[in-house]
């Protein structure tokens, strides 16, 4: 990791860097939700384990970034969810509560039928929690984005695997009946969230806990949605934790590199997996590939399409029939029909 700085700006850069290092504390006072990891080159990574619906998590992120003055901030988002960083809380709250036909169509266009349906079902879980708590998800990521912009020379990275890859691999890992069972459970999620749940949300990620309960009986689904993303997040954190090459006044000046400081903001359910994978050899090529659809997958897609269009056709028929009956029952229409019948030749 190198900074591109022209010679005339080296002094100004060094001055700002010196100010930043003075603000950076060697022994920072960190929240209990922070796990410190050290890279082979001495770079330090502070992983903040968060709950996606928690004000406490937002405060933990702000405190950590201000204490360590990082060179890079990595968040558990991908390019498909980056829009939540710049939207205001009110808009996000409204968007999170609404699971519309337009969103379903967009998800299907981006991810395919089965993956799009699964994404919408998971959004329904998030919308249910949002409705109950009155709090939009991802507040800790927005706080990380704002705080990172206040730290000199701090870069902001997206660290999560793209959603389409995750959902396509998840769908491929399930049998037809497992997909039906999972979809059924997600469709009929309506249990209220109590005040005790809200308090537990401050210590544990309520969204991830609910998802863990639902996917616990599907080990392959847990592997694709949780374990594989643990590997991907670990890889991205290690990529961010590279030594910094300081600017030089001239090419004759020797290169100087220093360890970097990174803050990672991830759901607390991913922290144990990141710790476990931190010192292992990682190859993300395998978890970035989407396996070809199985026979059961092709059958399920045909079945879902047939059911969808069948339901749509029946709905249109039912609505059309009901509308026609309603129209025919109107007095004005009855009168017109009677006049037409009386006016027929031969009567």
Q: Are residues 108 and 139 in the same domain?
A: yes
Residue 188 inside a domain? The answer is: yes
Residue 3 inside a domain? The answer is: no
Residues pairing with 35 in the sheet:
47
CB-CB contact of 46 with 64 (8 Å): yes
Q: Are residues 109 and 243 in the same domain?
A: yes
Q: Are residues 183 and 56 in the same domain?
A: yes
Q: Are residues 54 and 144 in the same domain?
A: yes
Which tokens hold the place of 40?
């082979």
Mean confidence (pLDDT) of the chain: 76
Radius of gyration of the chain (CA): 27
Q: Are residues 63 and 21 in the same domain?
A: yes
Q: Are residues 67 and 174 in the same domain?
A: yes
Taking residues 190-214, report their average pLDDT: 55
Which tokens hold the place of 19?
């100010």
The pLDDT, as a whole number, for residue 144 is: 97
Residue 205 inside a domain? The answer is: yes
Q: Are residues 38 and 119 in the same domain?
A: yes
Q: Are residues 319 and 236 in the same domain?
A: no
Q: Note down the domain range covering 312.
A: 299-343
pLDDT digits (tens, 9 = 90+) for 325-339: 665 566 665 666 566
Burial class of residue 71 in the structure, from the number of CB atoms within 10 Å of its CB (0-12 exposed, 13-18 middle, 19+ buried): buried
289 CB-side CA count, 13 A: 6
Residue 9 inside a domain? The answer is: no
Q: Are residues 244 and 278 in the same domain?
A: yes
The pLDDT, as a whole number, for residue 132 is: 65
CB-CB contact of 272 with 37 (8 Å): no
pLDDT digits (tens, 9 = 90+) for 234-287: 999 999 999 888 776 667 778 888 889 999 999 988 999 999 999 999 989 999
Instruction: State the distance between the two ends of the chain, measured CA to CA, in whole angstroms.
Output: 94
pLDDT digits (tens, 9 = 90+) for 63-106: 999 999 999 999 999 998 888 887 766 666 666 556 566 666 66
Residue 196 inside a domain? The answer is: yes
Note the helical H segments in 7-148.
10-23, 55-68, 89-97, 101-111, 113-133, 139-148
Of the candidates 67, 68, 48, 66, the one whose C-alpha atom is nearest the C-alpha of residue 57 is: 48
Indicate the pLDDT class of residue 223, thresholds 50, 70 and 90. Answer: confident
CB-CB contact of 114 with 182 (8 Å): no
Q: Are residues 42 and 70 in the same domain?
A: yes
CB-CB contact of 300 with 176 (8 Å): yes
Q: Given 292, 312, 330, which residue is the final one in a domain?
A: 292
Higher pLDDT, 327 or 139: 139
> Crossing angle for the helix pair 295-328 and 113-133, nearest 10 degrees?
70
Higher pLDDT, 180 or 131: 180
Residue 316 inside a domain? The answer is: yes
Report the number of distinct structural domains present in the chain: 2
Residue 6 inside a domain? The answer is: no
Which of 72-76, 145-149, 190-194, 241-245 is the least confident region? 190-194
Share of the chain above pLDDT 90, in %: 31
Q: Are residues 326 and 215 in the same domain?
A: no
Which tokens hold the place of 24?
């950076």
Q: Are residues 174 and 315 in the same domain?
A: no
Q: Which residues contact 334 (CB under 8 A, 6 or more apart)?
A: 328
The pLDDT, as a whole number, for residue 59 is: 94
Residue 253 inside a domain? The answer is: yes
Burial class of residue 325 in the structure, from the number of CB atoms within 10 Å of its CB (0-12 exposed, 13-18 middle, 19+ buried): exposed
DSSP per residue, 260-294: -EEEEEEEGGGHHHHHHHTTS----TGGG--PPP-
């Amino acid at each position: 990791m190198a900074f591109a700085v022209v010679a005339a700006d080296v002094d100004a850069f060094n001055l700002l860097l010196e100010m930043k290092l003075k603000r950076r504390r060697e022994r920072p006072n960190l929240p209990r939700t922070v796990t410190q990891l050290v890279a082979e080159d001495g770079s330090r990574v502070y992983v903040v384990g968060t709950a996606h619906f928690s004000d406490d998590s937002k405060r933990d992120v702000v405190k950590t970034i201000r204490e360590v003055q990082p060179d890079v901030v990595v968040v558990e988002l991908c390019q498909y969810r980056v829009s939540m960083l710049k939207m205001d809380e009110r808009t996000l709250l409204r968007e999170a509560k609404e699971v519309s036909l337009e969103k379903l169509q967009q998800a299907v266009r981006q991810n395919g039928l089965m993956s799009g349906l699964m994404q919408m079902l998971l959004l329904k879980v998030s919308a249910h929690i949002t409705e109950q708590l009155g709090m939009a998800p991802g507040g800790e990521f927005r706080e990380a984005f704002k705080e990172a912009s206040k730290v000199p020379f701090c870069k902001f990275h997206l660290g999560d695997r793209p959603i389409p890859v995750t959902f396509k691999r998840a769908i491929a890992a399930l049998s037809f009946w497992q997909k039906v069972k999972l979809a059924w459970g997600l469709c009929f999620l309506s249990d209220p969230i109590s005040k005790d749940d809200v308090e537990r949300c401050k210590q544990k990620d309520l969204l991830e806990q609910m998802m863990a309960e639902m996917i616990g009986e599907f080990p392959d689904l847990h592997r694709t949605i949780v374990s594989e993303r643990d590997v991907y997040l670990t890889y991205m954190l290690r990529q961010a934790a590279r030594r910094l090459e300081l600017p030089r006044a001239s090419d004759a000046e020797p290169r100087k590199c220093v360890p970097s400081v990174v803050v990672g903001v991830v759901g607390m359910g991913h922290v144990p997996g990141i710790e476990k994978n931190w010192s292992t050899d990682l190859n993300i090529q395998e978890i970035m590939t989407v396996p070809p659809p199985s026979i059961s997958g092709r059958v399920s897609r045909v079945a879902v399409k047939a059911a969808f269009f069948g339901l749509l056709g029946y709905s249109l028929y039912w609505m059309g029939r009901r509308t026609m009956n309603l129209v025919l029952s109107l007095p004005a229409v009855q009168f017109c029909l009677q006049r037409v019948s009386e006016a027929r030749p031969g009567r």
